[in-house]
């Protein structure tokens, strides 16, 4: 190998005989060529030692007859040459490999263009949808990793073993310890094979669809962690407007901006079905009740249900994890159950098992958060619902009032589609949204304030109510009447008879129950309800039912004779919020019967509910005695907008149906068909009688409102 060397001393690789000097050109560099023997020896030594030290270079210099600088320069150049050759070889190999990978990539891309779905035989997902799914899976994976770490830390803390030991125990425990993901926190489910409970609380709740089981320290810790995380999210939802919330153009209501929300609070969807959807809303208002009274009522299931009788049909407290600080209830945490239902049997009820956590975040300001919790797995509900962090902020105000800001955020998986009559109402969050909670709370707080007034204007009493105690007793009885009516509207165990009624195409819904409850007649009770659309404003229909002179036009029991109002009790500022005692027309067999009627109205709808009560029972209530045992079986009407325009004004037109927006009316009756507690007493004749009554009432209403030509 020939190797040219250049240096200040003109050192070369050849012998003295091969040196060529150019003395005639001053300053010209001289090159020396090593002979083959020198090159062979140098390369042999280079393979063994590429970096010779000073002693090794001097030894080579003596053996080969070269100067040490020549040896040094030769090894430097040889190392550079070797490095360059290696890089060229690596580049060539990488280039070949890259070309091979490119060919494989092109082949894979071509195969993906022609791939088909193995289940349906259709084309695959597009690139954009694939990227969205990948992004969603990455978020879910990150969330599950975080939840796994939380649970591992809790296990180490409460079981007292390090994580490494816990992982080694998992194969031994088998199915006894099940780590299952849940929406807010991974839950630890303990089977009877592993008993880690200390002083468990055994629940006995036969009135709900849940099966009871014990609560242990580990479960309590998980509940506390879930509630704390939900509280942090709710506070941000309450205090931040944009970009989390945006206004709906047609009515100005607030709904969550999904893109902004998912960036701040990334989480996988609880329901995976194609029917699942998310509902969100935010509203605020001032109520005539102190903040501390509201907090106490919200943490008591019975008081909570009494505050929302037209929304909540069942509420219970399963377990109190923390009662909160004495005086302000800050830190209270409890596990609760709630069933909600409104409007009509055509609307599915919603069931929630949830944690309720109360925290005073500053002086005079409380936040109460609700979040669903999978405590009981064997629940059977009519509609699958999952409450994401929702609730309210209660701010104390002067004069015993409070400002309430409400956020409602749920996932709903409708296995059965909502009936078309109520689909718009339910889907635009008017049905179960934040506004309904706020408006109902305002109306009920106002009603309570009227209940406990020290005196009532004399024109309300009509000579029948002579004391405040009597007025309060009547209001208490009427409140029970409203709760009973709203409770039966869900038609638990309903029977559908669409062929029985020709008044509309939604049919008549019939429910049969054997009653033995306090305050209700004992025997077989048939509840029947039907819903229909009317091209009128909700307030016009409400005023029609409120008018005692118009009662003869729809009440089939009035026999065409006018009724007379003998007592009038206001329950709010709006004149439509009132309780009436009505004397029926003289009928020889029923001359001792009166009618108790309550009506209520708010911006989202109205109710008119009434029940016949005999004279002796009414005397008990008007005298101020406890009305709890007075038998009452209410019927009535529920009026709401149809959801095509939030205000319910009939001038606007639906873009989907092409017809003007109007109102939805539900007519519901309860009839005692037999005083014998036996289902055998229910026969075709009884069903036909109920159907005839409700059909005749609907026909009378439509005729009176000039709507007889409607389907």
Residue 4 lies in a domain: no
Identify which of 499, 332, 387, 426 has the alpha carbon closest to the alpha carbon of residue 664: 426
DSSP one-letter code for 680: G
Rg from Cα positions in the chain: 41
pTM over 0.75: no
**Cβ pair 345, 489 in contact under 8 A:** yes
Residue 613 lies in a domain: yes
Q: What are the beta bridge partners of residue 353? A: 337
Do 392 and 291 sit in the same domain of this protein?
yes
**Cβ pair 526, 512 in contact under 8 A:** yes
Do 494 and 462 sit in the same domain of this protein?
yes
What string of DSSP letters covers 148-216? Answer: HHHHHHHHHHHH---HHHHHHHHHHHGGGEEEE--SSS-EEEEPTTS---SSPPPP--TTSSPPP----
Residue 75 lies in a domain: yes
Q: Is residue 401 helix, strand or coil?
A: coil
**Alpha carbon of residue 170 to chain centroid:** 33
Q: Which residue, 72, 97, 116, sits at the end of a domain? A: 116
Residue 701 lies in a domain: yes
Q: Which residue, 392, 427, 451, sits at the end of a domain? A: 451
- Name the one residue in this structure whose structure tokens are 């289902």: 679
Note the pLDDT of residue 109: 81
What string of DSSP letters covers 359-375? Answer: EEEETTEEEEEEEE---
Identify which of 374, 369, 429 has the alpha carbon closest to the alpha carbon of residue 405: 369
Q: What sign has the CA pseudo-torsion 419, 640, 283, 405?
A: negative
| Cα(177)–Cα(355) distance, integer angstroms | 23
| Cα(445)–Cα(338) distance, integer angstroms | 21
Q: What are the beta bridge partners of residue 337? A: 316, 353
Do 264 and 392 sit in the same domain of this protein?
yes
Identify which of 48, 15, 47, 13 has the alpha carbon closest to the alpha carbon of residue 32: 13
| Cα(259)–Cα(242) distance, integer angstroms | 12
Do 463 and 445 sit in the same domain of this protein?
no
Q: Which residue, 78, 101, 116, sits at the end of a domain? A: 116
Contacts by 111-116 with C-beta closer than 8 Å and gap 24+? Answer: none
**Cβ pair 19, 12 in contact under 8 A:** yes
The range of the structural domain enclosing residue 550 comes to 458-644+660-705
Do 467 and 440 sit in the same domain of this protein?
no
Note the pLDDT of residue 150: 74
Give the C-alpha distances (Å, rounded to integers) separating 10 from 33, 58, 246: 11, 18, 84
Do 398 and 511 sit in the same domain of this protein?
no
User: For strand 365-372 and strand 402-413, is the pairing parallel, antiparallel, or unpaired?
Assistant: unpaired
DSSP one-letter code for 571: -
State the distance between the two ends of the chain, measured CA to CA, in whole angstroms: 106
Q: Is residue 126 helix, strand or coil?
A: coil
Structurally, the chain folds into a number of domains equal to 3
Do 625 and 567 sit in the same domain of this protein?
yes
Residue 141 exposure: Cα atoms within 13 Å on the Cβ side = 6
Do 366 and 511 sit in the same domain of this protein?
no
Q: What sign has the CA pseudo-torsion 237, 240, 245, 249?
A: positive
Structure token pair of residue 321: 């994890």
Note the pLDDT of residue 494: 54
Identify which of 231, 386, 226, 188 has the alpha carbon closest to the alpha carbon of residue 321: 226
* Mean pLDDT per 10-residue section of the chain, whose length is 711 residues: 41 40 47 80 88 89 87 90 90 90 85 64 67 85 81 59 44 37 33 31 36 66 92 93 78 81 85 82 94 95 94 92 91 93 87 94 95 67 78 93 95 78 84 93 94 65 76 94 91 57 63 83 87 93 92 80 87 93 66 87 94 92 91 94 58 45 90 66 69 87 84 57
**Residue 335: CATH number of its domain:** 3.30.530.20
* Peptide linkage before 243 cis (omega within 30 of 0): yes
What value, to the nearest 5°, has the Cα angle with vertex 269 and ends 263 and 273?
A: 140
Note the pLDDT of residue 548: 87
Do 258 and 278 sit in the same domain of this protein?
yes
Residue 129 lies in a domain: no
| Cα(614)–Cα(331) distance, integer angstroms | 49
Structure token pair of residue 464: 């029948």
Residue 428 lies in a domain: yes
Identify which of 333, 401, 336, 338 has the alpha carbon closest to the alpha carbon of residue 367: 333
- CA quadruple 103, 108, 114, 115: dihedral, nearest 10: 170
Do 315 and 285 sit in the same domain of this protein?
yes
Secondary structure E strands in 488-623: 495-497, 508-515, 523-534, 564-570, 578-583, 593-602, 605-614
Note the pLDDT of residue 155: 62
**Cβ pair 300, 320 in contact under 8 A:** no
Do 346 and 472 sit in the same domain of this protein?
no
**Residue 56: CATH number of its domain:** 1.10.10.60
| Cα(307)–Cα(211) distance, integer angstroms | 27
Residue 257 lies in a domain: yes
Residue 26 lies in a domain: no
| Cα(414)–Cα(274) distance, integer angstroms | 9
Do 567 and 500 sit in the same domain of this protein?
yes
**Cβ pair 405, 238 in contact under 8 A:** yes
| Cα(422)–Cα(349) distance, integer angstroms | 13
- Name the one residue in this structure whose structure tokens are 């009627």: 597
Q: What sign has the CA pseudo-torsion 123, 127, 133, 137?
A: positive
Identify which of 518, 590, 701, 645 has the alpha carbon closest to the alpha carbon of residue 248: 645
| Cα(287)–Cα(441) distance, integer angstroms | 7
Using H for helix, E for strand and C for coil, what is the string for 531-555?
Answer: EEEECCCHHHHHHHHHCHHHHHHCC
Q: Is residue 471 helix, strand or coil?
A: helix
CB atoms within 10 A of CB 221: 17
CB atoms within 10 A of CB 693: 17
Helices (H), 517-667: 538-546, 615-622
Structure token pair of residue 98: 């890259």
| Cα(611)–Cα(471) distance, integer angstroms | 17
């Amino acid at each position: 190998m020939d190797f040219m060397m250049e240096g200040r001393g003109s050192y070369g690789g050849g012998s003295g005989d091969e040196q060529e000097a150019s003395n005639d050109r001053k300053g010209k560099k001289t090159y020396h060529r090593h002979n083959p023997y020198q090159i062979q020896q140098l390369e042999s030594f280079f393979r063994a030692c590429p970096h010779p030290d000073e002693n090794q270079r001097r030894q080579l210099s003596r053996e080969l007859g070269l100067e040490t600088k020549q040896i040094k320069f030769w090894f430097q150049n040889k190392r550079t040459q070797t490095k360059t050759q290696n890089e060229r070889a690596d580049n060539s190999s990488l280039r070949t490999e890259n070309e091979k990978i490119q060919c494989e990539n092109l082949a894979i891309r071509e195969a993906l263009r022609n791939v088909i779905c193995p289940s349906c035989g259709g084309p695959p997902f597009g690139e954009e949808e694939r990227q969205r799914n990948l992004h969603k899976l990455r978020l879910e994976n990150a969330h599950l990793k975080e939840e796994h770490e939380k649970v591992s830390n809790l296990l180490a803390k409460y079981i007292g073993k390090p994580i490494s030991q816990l992982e080694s125990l998992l194969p031994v425990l088998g199915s006894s310890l099940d780590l299952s993901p849940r929406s807010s926190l991974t839950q630890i489910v303990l089977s009877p094979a592993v008993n880690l409970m200390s002083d468990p609380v055994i629940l006995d709740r036969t009135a709900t669809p849940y099966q009871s089981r014990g609560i242990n320290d580990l479960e309590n810790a998980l509940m506390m962690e879930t509630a704390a995380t939900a509280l942090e999210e709710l506070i941000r939802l309450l205090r931040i407007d944009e970009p989390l919330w945006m206004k709906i153009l047609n009515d100005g209501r607030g709904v969550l901006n999904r893109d902004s929300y998912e960036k701040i609070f990334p989480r996988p969807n609880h329901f995976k079905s194609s029917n699942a959807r998310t509902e969100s809303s935010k509203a605020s208002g001032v109520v005539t009740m102190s903040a501390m009274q509201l907090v106490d009522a919200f943490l008591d299931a019975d008081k909570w249900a009494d505050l929302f009788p037209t929304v909540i049909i069942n509420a219970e407290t399963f377990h109190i994890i923390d009662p909160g600080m004495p005086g302000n209830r800050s830190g209270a945490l409890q596990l609760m159950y709630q069933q909600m239902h409104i409007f009509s049997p055509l609307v599915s009820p919603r069931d929630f098992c949830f944690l309720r956590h109360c925290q005073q975040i500053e002086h005079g300001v409380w936040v109460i958060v609700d979040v669903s919790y999978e405590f009981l797995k064997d629940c059977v509900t009519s509609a699958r619902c999952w409450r994401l962090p929702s609730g309210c902020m209660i701010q104390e105000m002067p004069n015993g009032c409070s400002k309430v800001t409400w956020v409602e955020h749920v996932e709903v998986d409708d296995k059965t589609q909502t009936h078309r009559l109520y689909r718009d109402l339910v889907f635009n969050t008017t049905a179960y949204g934040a506004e309904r909670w706020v408006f109902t709370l305002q109306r009920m707080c106002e009603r309570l304030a009227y209940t406990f007034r020290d005196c009532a204007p004399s024109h309300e009493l009509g000579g029948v109510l002579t004391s405040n105690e009597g007025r309060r007793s009547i209001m208490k009885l009427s409140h029970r009447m409203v709760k009973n009516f709203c409770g039966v509207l869900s038609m638990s165990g309903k029977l559908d008879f669409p062929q029985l009624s020709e008044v509309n195409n939604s049919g008549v819904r019939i429910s049969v129950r054997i009653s033995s409850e306090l305050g209700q007649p004992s025997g077989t009770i048939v509840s029947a309800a039907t819903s229909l659309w009317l091209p009128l404003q909700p307030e016009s229909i409400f005023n029609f039912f409120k008018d005692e002179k118009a009662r003869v036009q729809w009440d089939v029991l009035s026999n065409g004779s006018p009724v007379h109002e003998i007592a009038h009790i206001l329950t709010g500022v709006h004149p439509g919020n009132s309780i009436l005692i009505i004397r029926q027309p003289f009928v020889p067999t029923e001359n001792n019967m009166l009618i108790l009627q309550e009506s209520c109205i708010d911006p989202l709808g109205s109710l008119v509910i009434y029940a016949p009560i005999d004279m002796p029972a009414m005397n008990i209530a008007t005298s101020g005695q406890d009305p709890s045992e007075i038998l009452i079986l209410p019927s009535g009407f529920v009026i709401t907008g149809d959801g095509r325009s939030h205000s319910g004004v009939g001038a606007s037109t639906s873009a989907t149906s092409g017809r003007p927006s109007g109102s939805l009316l539900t007519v519901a009756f309860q009839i005692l068909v037999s005083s014998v507690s036996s289902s055998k007493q229910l026969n075709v004749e009884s069903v036909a009688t109920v159907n005839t009554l409700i059909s005749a009432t609907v026909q009378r209403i439509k005729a009176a409102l000039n709507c007889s030509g409607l389907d």
